[in-house]
């Protein structure tokens, strides 16, 4: 039974695309067949984060409109053969996406993959509502910061009202992924804590991803963080989150990079 | 008060938390109420329209909040002749019984 996940947030820049790539790769590492789909028509970036920007020929809109077959548009990852990408169109605008077209593509993906992860654009307009429309599970990405939490609350309301599942009267499964978390600043009272955000949003926690320098390095080279450095704090956080998505009971923790005295003395890594 | 408090740096996270809680309590309520009024408007209209023909343009629904109570006001304009006709029908029916 395949599952459609939407990675959404309302606010931009909180880590949706990074999280889509990381969760997709982590699920693929577990042996599942995974497709990641970029819904950010006109501002695509998932291809860049996945390191596949030069391999995009056909995109989501080509398939939705019947101009290309799904297998022609899917880009197989060079590192993980069971991970595929369906890019968004860079030249079209959001109105080129129709509900019927998206439904057809999602149905076809359902038949081929165990997990389909839809990377939603920011905002609450067409692209974002279509990305969540046919999802079974939502991963709400939030930073411990007031505007992000407020927008997440709005998105949770939309997930409970505008999705196909919600309209049928079924329960929409929602999980919170708290990213850019800095335990030091939380301890100093400068940042909302996990408990604060959970109390306000009241949806179950999928994972806590610490603010981590490795995330930027991974995006620089076009590799999902769990493939770039599975041992770093953010990498471990995403691997645990993916296991929880599969139903595994992984104790919740805030992964951290304990620097050795030597490394502290000699500073940055050479590579 | 912790060490940072003593140094004159106030913890700002509790302020963020309180502002969010107040704001979201308000936003969630207003989103729900906007929907509630639309639903009430439709259902009350349907109920009344079963018995009296009404002009949807001449219906006004509003909600006022006072200190302790909320007032739902539904204003439906009804043509007088319609009421008279209904009244005659009812009386005729009652007389027959």
Contact A189 B2 (CB under 8 A): yes
Give CA–CA dist A183/B91, Å, rounded.
78
Closest CA to A130 of A160, A97, A179: A97
Give CA–CA dist A177/A254, Å, rounded.
12
Give CA–CA dist A179/B2, Å, rounded.
27
Is B36 touching A (CB cutoff 8 A)?
A: no
Is B58 touching A (CB cutoff 8 A)?
A: no
Closest CA to A4 of A226, A169, A203, A245: A245
Non-local CB neighbours of B93 within 8 Å, separated by 6+ positions: none
Reported pTM: 0.80
- pLDDT surpassing 80 at residue B24: yes
Q: What is the mean pLDDT of chain A?
A: 94
- The per-residue pLDDT for B34 is 65
Contact A157 B21 (CB under 8 A): no
Taking a contact as any Cβ pair under 8 Å apart, which residues of chain A between 191 and 250 contact chain B? 191-193, 196, 200
DSSP state of A121: P
Question: Is ipTM over 0.90?
Answer: no
- The per-residue pLDDT for B50 is 86
Contact A146 B19 (CB under 8 A): yes
pLDDT > 70 fraction of chain A, expressed in percent and rounded:
95
- The per-residue pLDDT for A265 is 64
Q: How far is CA B45 from CA B63, B71, B81, in A?
A: 16, 18, 19
pLDDT digits (tens, 9 = 90+) for A196-230: 999 999 999 999 999 999 999 999 999 999 999 99
Q: Which residues from chain A sit within 8 angstroms of residue B23, using beta carbons?
A: 150
- The per-residue pLDDT for A79 is 97
pLDDT band with cut points at 50, 70 and 90 for residue A164:
very high
Is A150 touching B (CB cutoff 8 A)?
A: yes
Averaged pLDDT, A3-26: 97
Averaged pLDDT, A73-79: 97
Q: What is the mean pLDDT of chain B?
A: 77
- The per-residue pLDDT for A271 is 45
């Amino acid at each position: 039974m395949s599952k459609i996940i939407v990675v959404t947030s309302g606010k931009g820049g909180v880590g949706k695309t990074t999280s889509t790539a990381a969760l997709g790769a982590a699920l693929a590492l577990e042996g599942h067949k995974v497709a990641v789909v970029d819904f950010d028509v006109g501002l695509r970036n998932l291809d860049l984060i996945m390191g596949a920007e030069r391999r995009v020929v056909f995109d989501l809109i080509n398939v939705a409109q019947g101009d290309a077959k799904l297998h022609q548009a899917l880009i197989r990852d060079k590192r993980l053969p069971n991970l595929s990408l369906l890019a968004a169109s860079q030249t079209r605008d959001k109105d080129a996406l129709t509900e019927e077209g998206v439904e057809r593509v999602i149905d076809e993906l359902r038949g081929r993959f165990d997990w389909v992860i839809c990377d939603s654009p920011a905002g609450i307009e067409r692209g974002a509502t279509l990305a969540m429309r046919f999802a079974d599970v939502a991963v709400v990405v939030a930073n411990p910061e007031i505007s992000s939490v407020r927008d997440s609350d709005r998105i949770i309301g939309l997930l409970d009202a505008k999705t196909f599942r919600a309209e049928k009267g079924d329960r929409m499964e929602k999980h919170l992924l708290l990213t850019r978390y800095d335990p030091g600043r939380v301890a100093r009272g400068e940042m909302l804590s996990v408990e604060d955000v959970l109390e306000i949003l009241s949806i179950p926690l999928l994972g806590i991803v610490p603010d981590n320098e490795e995330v930027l390095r991974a995006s620089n080279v076009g590799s999902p963080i769990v493939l770039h450095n599975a041992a770093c704090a953010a990498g471990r956080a995403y691997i645990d989150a993916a296991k929880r998505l599969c139903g595994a009971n992984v104790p919740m923790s805030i992964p951290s990079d304990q620097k050795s005295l030597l490394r502290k003395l000699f500073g940055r890594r050479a590579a | 008060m912790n060490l940072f408090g003593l140094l004159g740096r106030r913890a700002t996270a509790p302020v963020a938390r309180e502002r969010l809680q107040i704001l979201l309590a308000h936003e969630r309520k207003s989103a729900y109420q906007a929907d509630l009024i639309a639903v009430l408007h439709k259902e009350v209209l349907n109920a009344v329209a079963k018995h009296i023909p009404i002009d949807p343009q001449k219906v006004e629904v509003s909600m006022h909040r006072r200190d302790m109570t909320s007032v739902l006001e539904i204003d439906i304009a009804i043509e007088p002749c319609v009421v008279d006709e209904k009244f005659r029908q009812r009386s005729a029916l009652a007389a027959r019984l």
